Every structure is written in structure tokens, then in C-alpha cells.
Structure 1
């Protein structure tokens, strides 16, 4: 797909992977709309990202998603690329009485239901375009579950499965003008998705390198981009998932829960 003269929407576009992709796609000659929950955050970054178009939307709120669809239809009916980057990642002990169901489902509502709702709402618009693309961002943990991040892992596995199903339904319906790509990042500590790790982590991929791989994949209409260390996680998920997950649990649970799970 040619990545210029497109109208692009990026969820979670005020920080991390979403903002980095939005900036890169703008420089390449596209009109880019970014979504975020916090209007104050918009004001703080506008002076550094003045070419972006900001719209307040909480992807975990279905009423917000409905309003988004109406707003896009009225203002940007030529929308042809959707990038789902909104996500939260939390480490939880499932034994902790202070970890409520509301806390657990917050990740599901943002990471999985938000992605599904945005795709379903905007699909009629992207279907009308001559060529379009949907990019859903999952994670290397869609292939290997992290015991320290039980809900995040589950949501990203869901994003992976949903993305595959969406692609196959479009293919079966002979709507091949809509490309569907899954971007599978490894640890990218620069995004500050977690406060427990920093950019010096030896297994962390740089944000610039991830964006470079993502853009190359979009231009090639790849169905999936396993970036950096995510390649190894996908392979492990296919060849030795139980052993890999057990070893990760031994390494990560003491790191995130030094006082134990219970």
C-alpha cells in the first residue's frame, strides 16, 4: 500500500507506539487523526505535533465509539487507514483481594473490546475506499502468556485471533481492497507501558526500529509483522509453549511480585 495521501486514524495516538506511528505517517504526507482519552494531554503535545488532528475518544466507552463513527463519517468520509494502538498493561496477582473485577476488565475493555468496536464501527467507511488498511497492534505475549500479566496476555491473544478472523471474512467476501495487518511488538520500553522496565532493558526494541518495521510491513501489505524479539516468542509459542511460559513465570513473577503472590 502506498503510504501517502491517505486519511489515517490512530487510536492511543497521544503516546508510545501510536504517537510515533502518527508522526511518521504525517511526515510521509498523510492526514492523521489521533484519538486519546485525556484532552489535557492533547494540549500538552500540540505544540510539538501541530500537524496532527486530535479527537477525544475513550475506546473502552461504546458511546464514545458510536460518536466517533458519526464524527468520522461527517468530517473524514475518505478515511482509509485505521491503526488500533490504544492499550494498557498491568501486572496483577490474581490472589490479591484489592484487585477487583473492575480493574481486570478495564484492560479487556480497552485492549480487546476497544479494538473490535473501532474496527466494526469504521469498517463500512474503509470498505468504500479504493484501497484501505486496518492495523491491529497485538503483542509478542499473544503467543506466549506472561503469568505476571494475565489479562494483558489474554487480550492480546484475542486481538490476534480477531485480526485473523477479520482478514479471512474480508477475503471470503472478496473485499481484497482492505488489507489487514497485525503488528506484533516485543518489549518496547520507551513506550512506558510499564514503569518496571526502562529503555536500557537488554531485550527491549527501540521505538524507531519498531516504527520502521511497521511502516515496511504496511507498504508491503504484510498480514503480520513480528517485530524484533516477537519473532522468537511466536516460534516458542509454536514449538515449546508450556516450557517457555513456565520459564517466563519463574523469571517474571519474582520481578513483579518480590513479596510473593499471596
Structure 2
């Protein structure tokens, strides 16, 4: 996929993986970069760091926000040809916790999965008008083996993986390339959800700049499924012995919880 002279929209572009995509792409010959986020302060901070970008406050969990985003972006940036669906949240959830309200138990699905599906659905007609276009969906290595303390997040990312596979199949005869980036455990603010659990060595956590560098290289080489770092192993383990590794992760986390108390 050629990124030169592209106009790229990144959801969730003010921190973590989205911000690192912005940082690395801004150093290339990309024509325009638009980022979205829910926090005005963070959008303003990012704009101060990267003067040439365009920022739009938008929440992918709100269909009306996506409609407004579509209208604004396609009018101001008609050459838009690449969307990076990165916006996401991750929670440490105990499914037996009855204090969690019904409207919040699916927050990760609303943003990580439904937000991506709605973004694709709304922007697809516009992308079809471009001579060359791409949709890049950020899933996770947890799409292959769920993390016991993040059940809804894992389910949402598994949904992204399945959805992206079928999207690629249905759009095979179009001008749009469909990429999936499945990061492993990565050094981003999402890790804050587990700050109270001592998981021991951080050697397995991939640096976000390395993860995004590998992802961009994969996109440039038309590698439609990009599995940086440990994600290749997670996919293999999910095929060979999913129950064994899930139980192993559960025991490791329970041990870490006891150690952290």
C-alpha cells in the first residue's frame, strides 16, 4: 500500500498507538493527517505538538458523532483514502461485580467493535471513490487468546478480527485494501488498567514505537494481517492449545493478584 500523498484519518489519535501512528506518519510524505478523540484538552495538546495535523472531537461510540465526522471530513478533505480504526478502551473487569451498571458493561464493545464497524460502514462509499484506499483495523493479540481479567475487551477484539476477515473477503474486488494490525501487550496507556497488579517482568511488553514501525512496514508491503511481537505466538497458541494457555494465563494472573496484595 502506497502511503505517499495519502490523506489519513486516525481515530483515537491523542495517545498510545494512535499517537505513535501520527508521529511516524507525520515524518513521511503523507499529504494530510486528521485525528479524532473524545478529550478536547488532549486534542489541543496533540495539535501543539503536530501543527500540520487537523483535529476533530468525535466519539466513535456515538453514531451521530460519526455522521458529523463523515460530513466534515469528506467536505474538507475529499482526498481522504485511508482510515485507521484505532480508538479503543480496555478495562479490568470482574464479571461477578454486580455494581457495574448495564450501560457500562459493554463500553469496550461500543467503542472497540461497534465504533469500528460504524466507521467503516459510513466511510465506505467515500473510500470506493478513491483510486487507491485502505482500511486499517487495530485488533489485538487477545483476539486469539482472551485475557481472563479483560473479558469484554478480548471479546470485542476477537470480533474485530472476525469482522475484518469477512470485510476483506467482501471487498476483494474493490479498490480498498483491508489491513488488520493485532498488537501484543504494548506500552500504552491501556496498560494503566492493570497498574495495581504486579505481573512481574515487563520484558514481554512491546514498545509502542517498535510496534507501529513494524505495522507501517507491513502496510507498505501489503501484509494484510500484521502480527507484531508476541502476537504471532498468541495466534499459534490459540490454534494449538487454547484451553491450556487460557488456564495458564488465569493461574499467572491469580498468582500476581495475591502477590500484589
Structure 2 CA distance for aligned equivalents of residues 94 and 257 of structure 1: 19
Aligned to 1:193: 190
Aligned to 1:27: 27
- TM (norm. structure 2) is 0.93
Aligned to 2:176: 178
Aligned to 2:152: 151
Gaps of 5+ in 1: none
Paired residues for 1:68-217 under 5 Å: 68-171=69-172, 174-175=173-174, 177-189=175-187, 191-195=188-192, 196-197=194-195, 201-217=202-218
Residues matched between the structures, number: 256
C-alpha distance 69-253 of structure 1, shift in aligned 2 (>3 A): farther
For residue 101 of structure 1, report the CA deviation from its aligned partner. 2.1
For the 8 Å contact 2:6–2:82, the answer to whether it is kept is yes
For residue 234 of structure 1, report the CA deviation from its aligned partner. 0.3
Report SS of the residue matched to 2:3.
coil
- TM (norm. structure 1) is 0.93
Aligned to 2:249: 248
1:13 and 2:13 matched: yes
Paired residues for 1:45-56 under 5 Å: 45-56=46-57
C-alpha distance 259-48 of structure 1, shift in aligned 2 (>3 A): closer
For residue 256 of structure 1, report the CA deviation from its aligned partner. 5.2
Structure 2 CA distance for aligned equivalents of residues 165 and 258 of structure 1: 42
Structure 2 CA distance for aligned equivalents of residues 70 and 145 of structure 1: 36
Give me the CA root mean square deviation.
1.9
For the 8 Å contact 1:8–1:80, the answer to whether it is kept is yes
Report SS of the residue matched to 2:79.
coil
Comparing 86-95 with 72-81, greater Cα deviation is found at 72-81
Structure 2 CA distance for aligned equivalents of residues 7 and 33 of structure 1: 8
